[in-house]
Structure formats: C-alpha cells, structure tokens
Amino acid sequence: MPSAGKAAVSGPRENPFMATVQEPSPRVISYGGGVQSTALLVLAAQREINFPTFLFANVGDDSEHPATLAYVREIATGYAREHGIDIHEIQRRRRDGSIETLWERLHRPQLRSIPIPIRMNNGAPGRRSCTSDFKIKVIAKWLKEHGATASRPATVGVGISLDEIHRANKRRSEPYEQIEYPLLDLALRRDDCIQIIAAAGLPVPSKSACFFCPFKTVDAWRHQRRHEPELFAKCEELEATLNEKRAMLGRDAAYLTRYGISLDRAIQLAPQEPGTLDAGCDSGWCMT
C-alpha cells in the first residue's frame, strides 16, 4: 500500500525520449507522359529532385492518345525501373472493381452532362469533369490509400514549366496534399525540359492529352487528320454522338473546336493560326 502523500503507480512509466515513428508521407509526381513530367522523371532519376514515385492516371486505353500510352509503357516505365523510380499506372474504378474509361462515359446511353470541355456555339468551352473524375480523384484515392491525410499531407509535384507559370495559379491544393513545382523552382522552361530528356538518351514525348480533347490547337487537329486519320474519324463520330444526345435533350449543338461547325468542316476551313497555345487545361493535370 503506498504511503500517504504519494500517488499509486499503476504501470510502467512512459519513456519521454521514445517517439512514435511514422512512415513518411508520399512524395509523388503527377505524371502525364508529356515533356514536362518526363523531364521531372529524368531529374528524379539523376537525384536532382526527391520524388521516388510517379503516378500516371490513365483515363482509359480507349481515351488517352496511343502515343502517350506507348511512351509511358515502353520507354518511361523501363527507364524509371533502371533508376529506382516507381511508376504506377492507375485508373478510375467502379464500386465493383471494374475500370471506367472516359470514352465509355461519353458513350453512356443515359449521359446528360458531357464531361469534356466541348465547345458551345460561341466557341467557349463548356464545364468539364473529366480532369476531376479521371485524374484528380484517381490520384487522391491512391494518396489516401498510401497514408496521406490532412495532418500528414502528401507532396505532389506538378510539371509546370517557367514559360507556363500562369498555370500554377490555377492549381488548387486539397487538404491531403501539398503542391510543389520543381520545374519552377529550378527555373526551367519547356525547351530546357526537351534538352534534359534528349541528354538522357530518351526520345522526346509528344504533348499528352486525350486524342479527342477540345483544348487541342487547330494545328494539332490538322496533324491528326493528316497523320492519324483513324483517330480523327473517331473524333468525328464522338462529336456526332454527343450532338445526337444533346438534340434529344433539346439542347443546342456543341463541337470539338471553337468554330461552331462540325469537326470535318472546321479543320478544312479554319484559318492558319501559327503559335496558338492550348487555352484551357490550366491546372497541370493534363498536357504535361
């Protein structure tokens, strides 16, 4: 029985010098398979930046440009493995575990809201949910499954270069993540990224985006029509399908270009506009 004035001790005292060891929160690059994020892959391999994990949110094998899928799977993944970098290809999944692709959603019979930024008659892009549903939420799920929380946020590197610094202002952080811009920190431009990739002995990738993305430039559409006629035909079919759905809902027609006419006519009649920039996907999730 303890003596008067002294508290009873019910168990061993905690050692004040023992600290709880936590796994470090994830440090990942949002990898798009394009020039800027591939330059980040090379810099990570060279240990110029500390990002051991790259996440490629694939919106669908039927939706991503085939050249992007080939680059990620046949070039980037092998290069990453050789240099101790992990690339994870992740996709949106339904509750039953099956994969949902953006192309499938666009062709869903009950579709009422078009998830891509299809152009209205005035040329302005409509509201889109494709980036949120097929990239942001997919990466968010992976981060949370790997320990990211509001109190232990993941660090997510985004491939925005100095010549596109305005895009950094459009990227919203979520509570479970902290956004970093390694290319901005290193004052690197897109041309610098191309040189970094080439110096590593890798081919320079093309701009990454869905092959039917309405944010493509006119020159990109022309290139697709000339060199990728099968993809261009699929884009024509998609535009027609979406307008059939809109007509059934009593809505005006919408288009994949800003000219207010069908894709076939727009690309034949559109004036040459050298130097036109991609104008819409500012967040850094796509086209890097």
Looking up tokens 């097929």, which residue turns up? 134
DSSP state of 88: E
- Could you count the other beta carbons within 10 Å of the beta carbon of residue 279? 12
Residue 22: both structure tokens together: 């936590």
Predicted pLDDT at 110: 87
Q: Give CA–CA dist 165/184, Å, rounded.
A: 7
pLDDT digits (tens, 9 = 90+) for 2-38: 444 444 444 445 555 444 456 678 999 999 999 999 9
Predicted pLDDT at 278: 45
Is 186 exposed, middle or buried, given 0-12, 13-18 or 19+ CB atoms closer than 10 A?
Answer: middle
Question: What are the sequence ranges of the domains in the chain?
Answer: 27-210, 216-275
**Angstrom distances, CA of residue 216 to CA of 2, 21, 70, 249:** 80, 48, 20, 27
Domain 27-210 coded CATH 3.40.50.620: yes
* pLDDT score of 204 more than 80: yes
* pLDDT score of 286 more than 70: no
Is 84 exposed, middle or buried, given 0-12, 13-18 or 19+ CB atoms closer than 10 A?
Answer: exposed
Q: Please give the mean pLDDT across all residues of the chain.
A: 88
pLDDT digits (tens, 9 = 90+) for 100-140: 999 999 999 988 899 999 999 888 888 899 999 999 999 99
Q: Give CA–CA dist 121/255, Å, rounded.
A: 8
Three-state DSSP class for 103? helix
> How is 151-198 classified by DSSP, letter by letter?
SSPEEEE----GGGGGGGGG-PPPTTEEEE-HHHHTT--HHHHHHHHH
In this prediction the pTM is 0.84
Longest dimension (CA), the chain: 98
Predicted pLDDT at 173: 73
